[in-house]
Chains A and B, each alone.
Chain A
Amino acid sequence: MTAIWTKNLSKKYWLYKKETGIKGTLKYLIRGEKVFVEAIRGLDLKVEMGETIGLIGPNGAGKTTTLKILSGILYPTSGEIKVLGFTPHKREKEFLKQITFLSGQRNHLFWDLPAEEYFNFCRVVYQLPEAIFKKNLKKLVQLAEIEEILHIPQRKLSVGQRKRCELVAALLHDPKVIFLDEPTNALDLTNARKIREFIKERAEEGKYTIILTSHNMTDIEQVCKRVVILHMGRLVYDGGLDELNRSNGFKRKIRVSFRDSWNKEWVERLGNVIFIQGQEVLLEVPPENATQIASTLISQFSIQDIRIENPSLEMIIESIYKKEDERVFK
Chain B
Amino acid sequence: MDMFRLKAYGRFKKGTSETLRLPIRYLKLLLLFTKIGLMRQMAYRPHFILMVGGKIIRIILLFFFFQAVFLKVDRLGEWGFEQVLLLFATFHLVDFLMSITFQRNLIGSLPRWVQTGELDSRLLLPINQLFLISFETIDLMDLFSFIPSLIFLGYIILNLNFSFSGFQIFLYILLIFNALVFLYAIHLMIASISFWTTQSYGIGRIMDNLFKIGRYPLDIFEGFWKVCFIYFVPLIVIAQLPVQALLDLISWKWIIFGFSMSGSFLLFSISLWKKGLKNYLSASS
Give residues in A with beta carbon < 8 Å to B: 13, 64, 68, 71-75, 91, 93-94, 96-97, 99-101, 103-106, 108, 110, 112-113, 117, 121, 124-127, 153, 181-182
Contact = CB atoms under 8 A, between A and B. Distances in A.
Contacts of A121: 32, 36
B129 A75 contact: no
Contact of B285 (A72, A103, A108, A124): A103
A71 B285 CA distance: 15
A117 B117 contact: no
A96 B126 contact: yes
Given A101-B121, A113-B36, A125-B127, 15 more contacts: A68-B282, A73-B123, A74-B280, A75-B278, A91-B124, A93-B127, A104-B285, A106-B117, A112-B39, A113-B43, A121-B36, A124-B28, A124-B29, A125-B125, A181-B285
A72 B123 contact: yes
A113 B126 contact: no
A213 to B, nearest CB: 8
A321 to B, nearest CB: 19
Given A73-B282, A105-B285, A117 B36 contact: yes
B120 A91 contact: no
B194 to A, nearest CB: 15
Given A97-B126, A103-B285, A153 B120 contact: no
A23 B125 CA distance: 43
Contacts of A181: 285
Contacts of B43: 112-113, 153
A96 B125 contact: yes
Given A96-B126, A125-B29, A103 B40 contact: no
B281 interface: yes
6 contacts: A64-B285, A71-B124, A73-B123, A74-B282, A125-B125, A181-B285
Interface of B: 25, 28-29, 32, 36, 39-40, 43-44, 117-118, 120-121, 123-127, 129, 277-278, 280-282, 284-285
Query: Which of A101, A125, A153, A181 has the most chain B CB atoms closer than 10 A to its own CB?
Result: A125
Given A74-B280, A126-B126, A182-B285, A103 B39 contact: no
Nearest to A173: B126
A281 B232 CA distance: 86
Query: Which of B29, B117, B284, B285 has the most chain A CB atoms closer than 10 A to its own CB?
Result: B285
Nearest to A67: B285
Contacts of A126: 126
A110 B36 contact: yes
B120 A106 contact: yes
A91 to B, nearest CB: 7
A91 B126 CA distance: 8
B119 to A, nearest CB: 8
Nearest to A74: B282
| A-B pairs with lowest CB-CB distance, top 4 | A96-B126, A112-B43, A93-B126, A108-B121
Contacts of A75: 277-278, 280
A72 B281 CA distance: 12
Nearest to B128: A93
Contacts of A117: 36, 39
Nearest to A103: B285
B112 to A, nearest CB: 13
Given A108-B121, A124-B28, A91 B281 contact: no
B39 A68 contact: no
B281 A13 contact: yes
Contacts of A94: 126
A93 B284 CA distance: 26
A91 B40 contact: no
Contacts of B280: 73-75
Contacts of B278: 75
B36 A106 contact: no
Contacts of B121: 101, 103, 106, 108
A91 B121 CA distance: 12
Nearest to A181: B285
B179 to A, nearest CB: 30
Contacts of A104: 285
Nearest to A111: B40
A91 B129 contact: yes
Query: Which of A73, A75, A125 has the most chain B CB atoms closer than 10 A to its own CB?
Result: A73
Contacts of A113: 36, 39-40, 43
B187 to A, nearest CB: 22
Query: Which of A72, A94, A108 has the most chain B CB atoms closer than 10 A to its own CB?
Result: A108
B124 A73 contact: yes
A65 to B, nearest CB: 8
A277 B282 CA distance: 55
A124 B32 contact: yes
Nearest to A123: B32
A188 B165 CA distance: 70
B236 to A, nearest CB: 36
Contacts of A64: 284-285
B40 A112 contact: yes
Given A96-B125, A124-B32, A101 B120 contact: yes
